[in-house]
Amino acid sequence: MLRIRGDLHREGAGGVGGDGAGEAGGRGLAGGAGARLRGPVLSRAPGGDGAGHGPVAGNLDARRAPRQGAGVSPFRARARAEIEAGPPAATLSPILRKLVADSRDQLSTASPSDARARAQAARAYAVDHLDELQEQLKESCARQGIGYHRAATAEEAVALVTQLLGDARRIAKSKSMVAEEVGLTHALRVRGKEVLETDIGEYIVDIEGRGPSHITAPALHLNRARIRELLAGAGEDVPDDDPVRLSRAVRDVVAEFFGEVDAGITGANAVIANSGRIVIVENEGNVSLGVSRPRLHIAITGMEKVVADEEAALAVLQVLAPSATAQPLTAYTHFLGAPDEGQERHLVVVDNGRSEILADERYRDVLRCIRCGACMNACPVYTAAGGLSYGSPYMGPIGAVVSPLLWRDGRHADLPSASSLCGRCSEVCPVGIPLHRMLLDLRAGEAENGGSRVEKVAWKSWAAAFAGRQGRAASWL
């Protein structure tokens, strides 16, 4: 969301804090030789240590959560603190209303029913044939000269990336939801690596130290004045809060860092089984530099991001940018194949609980998700509470479903209750994930595991009442 949306962002969030439809990434800000960072190597808000959300790094939100009273869930406690500090809805409501309207208009110009049906079919096929497509992808990567690596857990993912980096010290990183999930940035810094987040929004939220609040616009919760304050505190010369000057200040740091960089780490919006190509979309141009300037490029992604072929990838791309940022396409779309001479390219495919989700018929379709953020933009609870209230790298309706499924230690067990069950998330999802149905099932499961007899009966009644809702839901378009 690099395009500044006029008056909406003057006092609202995200004026310079967003990107396109790429994966939201982990937090990272590091100085070092050649980096124009005059502040500390790692600038953090009081009490923060830069840890990510994954099992390797711990959960930053758990450490910064306000003290809870008896009977208050972690989500409610965080949401209360966010609202008391300054209601997120005051900033988010006008931005998200415009984004939802613009997305609807953008999809309406491109045969929306057909586009959504093709994307849904492409993702459904991938989920139904995941093991087969991963084997095909492995063979295709070998033909392309791309290293293919599987990681069963977050710890394995971090270990693999660390091993692949070897003696590489200066690392340019762009958006990756999975990197955030496994705590990669923090883990690499602990090992002495200099990691710079090269997306403008990720760079900014790293300075703040609280993490991203939206999948495609990580600094959506910050207004221009606060962004200027953060950049000035990190030593940047920002005389006012003009969005162009703020963006340029970050871009100057990133450009200088790229002058001497050893490795680039990215996410992936899709990986193509029959060709081995890695698909990444972006709006800022930092991915272009991150995959071409260094001698080493590592893409880290979830095992579910595989698609069968180029046609399936294009079907996803046709709905991704319109749903995420109301663009026909992002500014840059990369189909990365064999590395150039003298370069290395590796793909790290992470499971980290996805196989368990795949095996559960109730929730396996959540693996269709293309990380567009459309469900967040339409969600009244996300708008009211803000993304930081979820305490997870995955926020909004998709986060309320996937977080308790990925982290089964109970830390996110209350998130399914962060929903009004209005069904808007299911209506706007471009790949047809029945999120409201999954939220209801997760709530019922929580009640069965620890609820009272009255709660159990109530949830069974709700389940019966909602049984036909998905099929009867009015079309978003």
Tens-place pLDDT, residues 341-354: 999 999 999 999 99
Torsion sign, CA atoms 462, 471, 325, 367 = positive
Q: How far apart (Å, rounded) are the C-alpha atoms in residues 316 and 322? A: 11
* Amino acid at position 32, single letter: G
Q: How far apart (Å, rounded) are the C-alpha atoms in residues 289 and 119? A: 29
Q: How many CA atoms lie within 13 A of 111 on its CB side?
A: 7
Q: How far apart (Å, rounded) are the C-alpha atoms in residues 123 and 202? A: 28
What string of DSSP letters covers 132-201? Answer: HHHHHHHHHHHHHT-EEEEESSHHHHHHHHHHHHTT--EEEE---HHHHHHTHHHHHHHTT-EEEE-SHH
Do 330 and 124 touch, CB atoms closer than 8 A?
no
Domains of the chain are 74-104+362-469 (1.10.1060)
Q: How far apart (Å, rounded) are the C-alpha atoms in residues 177 and 293? A: 23
Q: How far apart (Å, rounded) are the C-alpha atoms in residues 149 and 151? A: 7
Strand partners, 435: none
Instruction: Specify the pLDDT at position 340.
Output: 95
Q: How far apart (Å, rounded) are the C-alpha atoms in residues 385 and 402? A: 18
Task: Considering only the C-alpha atoms of the chain, give the largest distance between any 2 of them, rounded to a whole number of Å.
Answer: 66
Instruction: Specify the pLDDT at position 456.
Output: 52
pTM here is: 0.82
Below-70 pLDDT ranges, the chain: 1-72, 93, 106-112, 450-477
Q: How far apart (Å, rounded) are the C-alpha atoms in residues 181 and 203? A: 17
Strand partners, 350: 151, 302
Instruction: Specify the pLDDT at position 5.
Output: 31
Inter-helix orientation angle 310-325/112-128, to 10°: 120
Contact residues for 185 (Cβ-Cβ < 8 A; gap 6+): 26, 27, 28, 50, 52, 173, 179, 195, 197
Instruction: Specify the pLDDT at position 111.
Output: 54
